[in-house]
Chains A and B, each alone.
Chain A
Amino acid sequence: MVSILDEVKKEYIRDLVAKGRRADGRQFDELRKAISVERSIIPNAEGSARVHWGKTQVLVGIKMGVGAPFPDRPDEGVLSTNAELLPLASPVFEMGPPDANSIELARVVDRGIRSSNVIDLKSLFIEENKVWNVFVDIYVLDHDGNLIDASALAAMAALQCTRIPKYENGNIVYGEYSGNLNVTTKCVATTFAKIGSNILVDPTSDEELAMDARLTISTTPTHVCAMQKGAPGGFTKDELLNLIDKAFEKGNELRALL
């Protein structure tokens, strides 16, 4: 569907960016000012966090379960990440099975956490054929763009406050805890949008509408741990390498919130 209103917005944003400005007055390399993290807001979940990222709002809940490991990783716990673009978050989100956007969102967040070994999966081994499963569920509550970075931050914050339930005689005792999930590093995502020949960090939903290309770079304090290019446009090698520097810089600002 092509909406006339979207076309008008697109043109407005592109014109503005070409003049070196953004609709909300930010610099091109400036994250949104109001980014905040609240932890443990769903006490029934083993871990949870809500992130307000400008007007974007994402809730992540974490449940722990016990199950069989993957056959090729018999001594490791299982991390499973899902994202729901809830219909209450935007007029463009509809009920139904996860679409490509929500699958991509979940998989990009998952890749960052997994690659950077945020959780030591080997520590989640219980006994032969029994390991802890960590279910990370991303709930997008309000969509004003940059869902990847907001979700990655919320997932990281939720993992940091996740407790492992007691496990006795082959049963999980939910509500009682044997300890905290061991979180080893701080992985955050930084997303850039290319609009015309300009590149700006942390796009709003209107800027996402107008962007030619998108690049997400997930970092730990020392390494790049995941990347994903999205949207049809391209990046040159130089642009990509410059953005890695920017991603570390912005990543450190975000890590300070964790």
Chain B
Amino acid sequence: MEKPKLVIDGKRIDGRGMEDLRPIKIKAGVLDKADGSAYVEWGNNKVMAAVYGPRECIPKHDANPYRALVRCTYRMSPFCSIEEHGKRGPSRRGTEISKIISEVFENVVLAEYFPKTAIDVFIEILQADGGTRVAGLTAAAVALADAGIPMKDLVCGVAGGKIDGQLAIDFGKYEDNFGESDIPMAVSPRTGEILLFQMDGLLTKEEISRIIDMGFAAIKKVHALQVEALKERYIEKEKSGAVPPAQESAEEEDAEDVPAQAANPAPAANSTNEEVPNETQAEV
């Protein structure tokens, strides 16, 4: 396929501006058997994440006497792409992505509460359209919160980079394939720490700095959607009688078993609705 023009008159292939995200939908609690789960539609990406655990660590020699093992598996379905049937089974790309996502959750999960156990996170890319690793990570964070796993923060990710000489955020498939540079990143919104960061292509320091800023702004919006999804899930559970009604007063300190609890301390929801300044002309 010939490289299409990715930016025409400051607009991208799908009509977005340089800092616009694709439409994102997040739903928590979509699977019955899993301890926690989430489904994310991010543009044409369709991603399911499930969490099992804390549970017995198998194989046992992998168990850590001080903390839970947080293991994440990222996989793409063989039918996820518009092109030919994909390979079944593990891929080198999937192995690398699984490793770096596992490291992110090792950071935020309070694993020292569950020594000798394993917390398994499964990310399945059902349909792929660029930026699947960050969509998968975003779904997995919601699934972990849905499972009631205590975490320091509800992490989320986004990818940015350079297309047709311009800096932009959240690449679709063609921008991914034909763009000059791609930076997937994941951030802890509470601390601003960068927990996942990869980059390819040729960029200067100034360009990388600008892409990180654009990523941070986008991540705020994605984070708000995560929080919203978990609140909805809690209301759903409350209606079905699965959880005690939410208490306004703080005297109930035993809320530890409440599934959505892990997400509630995330206060960033307040700042999420503000519009990010729309600086479409990024430096070339």
Binding site for B on A (CB under 8 A): 1-2, 72, 98, 100-101, 103-104, 106-107, 111, 114-116, 215, 220, 223-237, 240-241, 244-245
Query: CB distance A232 to B192 under 8 Å?
Result: no
Query: CB distance B205 to A115 under 8 Å?
Result: no
Q: Which of these, B93, B198, B202, B208, contacts A229 with CB under 8 Å?
A: B198
Interface size of B in residues (CB-CB distance below 8 Å): 41
Query: CB distance A235 to B1 under 8 Å?
Result: no
Q: Beyond the given A115-B201, A234-B188, could you list 20 further A-B residue pairs with CB under 8 A, ordered by the A residue number?
A: A100-B96, A100-B98, A103-B96, A104-B96, A104-B100, A114-B200, A220-B202, A224-B205, A225-B202, A227-B197, A228-B100, A228-B197, A230-B100, A232-B104, A233-B107, A236-B192, A236-B194, A244-B205, A244-B208, A245-B205
CA distance A26 to B168 in the complex (A): 40
Query: CB distance B196 to A229 under 8 Å?
Result: yes
Nearest chain B CB to A78 CB, angstrom units: 15
CA distance A231 to B274 in the complex (A): 33
The 5 A-B residue pairs whose C-beta atoms are closest, nearest first, are A234-B193, A227-B199, A229-B197, A232-B107, A232-B106
Interface readout for B169-191 with A: 1 if CB under 8 Å, 0 if not? 00000000100010100001001
Query: CB distance B205 to A234 under 8 Å?
Result: no
**29 intermolecular pairs with C-beta atoms under 8 Å apart:** A1-B61, A101-B99, A103-B92, A103-B95, A106-B92, A107-B93, A107-B96, A115-B181, A116-B202, A224-B202, A224-B208, A226-B199, A228-B197, A228-B199, A230-B100, A232-B103, A232-B107, A233-B107, A234-B191, A234-B193, A235-B194, A236-B192, A236-B193, A236-B194, A237-B212, A241-B205, A241-B208, A244-B208, A245-B205
Residue of B nearest to A220 (CB): B202
B106, B188, B194, B196, most chain A CB atoms within 10 A:
B194
Binding site for A on B (CB under 8 A): 1, 61-62, 64-66, 92-93, 95-96, 98-100, 103-104, 106-107, 177, 181, 183, 188, 191-205, 208-209, 212-213, 216
CA distance A106 to B197 in the complex (A): 17
Residue of B nearest to A240 (CB): B194
Residue of A nearest to B103 (CB): A232
Nearest chain B CB to A114 CB, angstrom units: 7
On whether A223 and B202 interact (CB within 8 A), knowing A72-B1, A230-B103, A232-B106, the answer reads yes
Nearest chain A CB to B66 CB, angstrom units: 7
Residue of A nearest to B98 (CB): A100
Q: Which of these, B106, B191, B197, B202, contacts A240 with CB under 8 Å?
A: B197
Q: Which of these, A100, A226, A234, contacts B194 with CB under 8 Å?
A: A234
Residue of A nearest to B62 (CB): A1
Q: Which of these, A107, A220, A225, contacts B92 with CB under 8 Å?
A: A107
CA distance A206 to B84 in the complex (A): 45
